[in-house]
Amino acid sequence: MAQHTIRFRIRPDGTVEELVQGFRGEGCQQLTERIESSLGSVQQRTSTAEAFLSQAQTTSAALPVEQRSA
Amino acid sequence: MSHFSTVKTELRDRDALLGALRDLGHEPDSSERPVRGYRGQTVLAELCVAQTGGGDIGFRWNATSNSYELVTDLDLWKQPVPVERFLAQVTQRYALRSILAASVAEGFQVTEQTQAVDGTIELVVSRWDA
């Protein structure tokens, strides 16, 4: 048994960021294509976990700015 | 293999769009009808949120972009938020409903749903496979 997890971040403007974890090979594409096709056009896709790590760092770096303005 | 995608949401699915409008407290009419604008001018739309006194909010199917687009008379706009914000709210709810529907159809279960301070909805779905 393996757990497959998909994390979504749905931005206030409707843009969706999606992180797929634990899929191997073809299954990864098949499952997420359905979700992606019901949503819209994929603007960017990166196939490494490192891509999400750099994204997360960008987000957390931006957080103090948002907190100040709130 | 993991991957990370960014998707620009387009309003493609009728049911998800109807649901999104209802989530925001509107009562959309799902039959084709004229959207009323200034001085009784009308334009046909597939979905319509009627407003008392005119200034209806319609969604018209665009066969070129393969998605619904908002049609309304901005001179008669009476919503508490500007039209750009309104469309953003609809799009966010639409994205949530589309993802939930597609996830359930693929056998996923929602394990987490939270809303961040900036309004971002965080959603985690998972599935066990042999």
For the whole model, what pTM was predicted?
0.81
Q: Which pLDDT does position A44 carry in this prediction?
A: 79
Tokens for A57? 């760092």
- What is the per-residue pLDDT across B66-110, written as a single tens digit (0 to 9) for each? 999 999 999 889 899 999 999 999 999 999 999 999 888 888 999
Going by C-alpha positions, the residue among B1, B30, B20 that lies closest to residue B94 is B20
- Measured at the CA of B103, the angle between CA B98 and CA B105, to 5 degrees, comes to 100
Distance from CA of B18 to the nearest CA of A (A): 15
Instruction: Supply the ipTM of this predicted assembly.
Output: 0.87
Residue with tokens 């700015």: A65
Asked if A15 lies within 8 A of B9 by C-beta distance, the reply is yes
pLDDT digits (tens, 9 = 90+) for A58-69: 444 444 444 444
Q: Is the pLDDT of residue B31 over 50?
A: yes
Backbone φ, ψ for residue A38 (5° rounding) = -80, -15
For residue A47, what pLDDT is reported? Answer: 72
**pLDDT > 70 fraction of chain B, expressed in percent and rounded:** 98
Residue B26 DSSP SS3: coil
Q: Which of B4, B105, B127 sits opposite A51 (nearest CB)?
A: B4
Length of chain B: 130
Cα B120-B4-A36 angle, rounded to 5 deg: 75
B102 DSSP β-pair partners: none
Q: Cβ contact (<8 Å) for B125 and A6?
A: yes
Predicted confidence (pLDDT) at residue B1 exceeds the cutoff of 80 = no
| CB–CB contact A10 B123 (8 Å) | yes
In the sheet that holds A2-10, the strands lie side by side as A40-46, B3-9, A16-21, A2-10, B121-129, B109-115
What's the pLDDT tens digit per position in A6-53? 899 999 999 999 888 776 655 556 667 777 777 887 777 777 554 445
